[in-house]
Amino acid sequence: RLAVVTPSHHSPLGMALSLPRRLDLLAWAAEAGAWILEDDYDGEFHFRGRPLPALKSLDEAGRVLYAGTFSKVLLPSLRLGYLVVPRPEVARFAAVAACLVPTAGQLEQAVVAAFMAEGHFARHLRRMRAAYRERRAALERAIAEVFGERLRLDPRGDGMNLVAWLPPGVDDIEAARRAQAHGMAPSPLSPWHIEARRRHALILGFANIAPEAARHEARRLERALAGA
C-alpha cells in the first residue's frame, strides 16, 4: 500500500494537512505496513504562521519517503530533485536509481550540494520567502482595493497562488477565458471538482508580479471580468 500526499500545500487551494491528521496518517502507515510518499512540492513557501513539521520528521516507524525538488526554489531548468528514504532502504533505492537514466549531471548535483553546505541555500530561501510574501501581500491589497466585495480572496491557503472566489452566477471557465484574452493566465477552479455541485473561483499566480505592478494587474483583471 502507498499513500501519496502533499501535506504542506494541497493543490489547488493551498491548504496544509493539520497536525492531528498527519499523526493519524502516520499511525495508519505503521499499523498497515504501508508507505507514505510525502511530496513537498512548494512546501518551502509558507507565509502564514509557523509551518507544520514534515511527515518525515514525525515518522518513528520508518514508513515515509520524502520527495522534494529544486525547480521552484532555484530554477526550473535545473530538473534536480531528491528522495529521502529510511536508512534501511537506502541500498535498495540506490540500486534502483543507478538503473535510471539521469536527468541531472554530476556537476549540477555537486554545485547544488556545495551551495547548500556553505549556507547559501538557506539564505537564498529566506530572501525568496520575503520577496514572495511581499508580492503576495501587495496583490491581496490591490485586489481588495479594486474589487471590494466582488472578488473574495481565500485567506487559508499557502504556496505561490491566490484563490479568488467569484460572485454567484459567474462562471470561472468563462472568466479565465476573458482574462486570458487580456494577456493574463489565471486557472479556473471548477474543473478540479469531482462532484456535480461546483464552486467557481480563479487561481491567481503572484510570483511574477512586482509589488509596484500589483494594482495595475488588479485593474487589468477588473477590465477583463467586466460583464462576466
Q: How confident is the model at residue 51 (pLDDT cuts 50, 70, 90)?
A: confident
- Range with lowest mean pLDDT among 1-5, 70-74, 111-115: 70-74
Q: What is the pLDDT of residues 128-146, one digit of tens each?
A: 999 999 999 999 999 999 9
Distance from C-alpha of 134 to C-alpha of 95, rounded to nearest angstrom:
44
For residue 60, which amino acid is it? E
Half-sphere exposure of 109 (CA within 13 A, CB side): 7
Q: Give the fold, CATH level 3, of 2-104.
A: Aspartate Aminotransferase; domain 2 (3.40.640)
Contact between 172 and 200 under an 8 Å Cβ cutoff? The reply is yes
The pLDDT value recorded for residue 163 is 95
Domain ranges of the chain: 2-104, 132-225
Whether pLDDT at 228 is above 70? no
Whether pLDDT at 127 is above 70? yes
- Range with lowest mean pLDDT among 87-91, 115-119, 143-147, 196-200: 196-200
CATH homologous superfamily, domain 132-225: Aspartate Aminotransferase, domain 1 (3.90.1150.10)
Q: pTM, whole model, 2 decimals?
A: 0.84
| CA-derived radius of gyration, the chain | 20
Burial 40-51 (b: 16+ CB within 10 A, else e): bbbbbbbbeeee
The percentage of the chain sitting over the pLDDT mark of 70, rounded to a whole number, equals 99
The percentage of the chain sitting over the pLDDT mark of 90, rounded to a whole number, equals 70
Where are the alpha helices (H) located in 81-198, listed in sequence order? 90-98, 106-117, 120-147, 172-181
The pLDDT value recorded for residue 83 is 93
Whether pLDDT at 101 is above 80? no
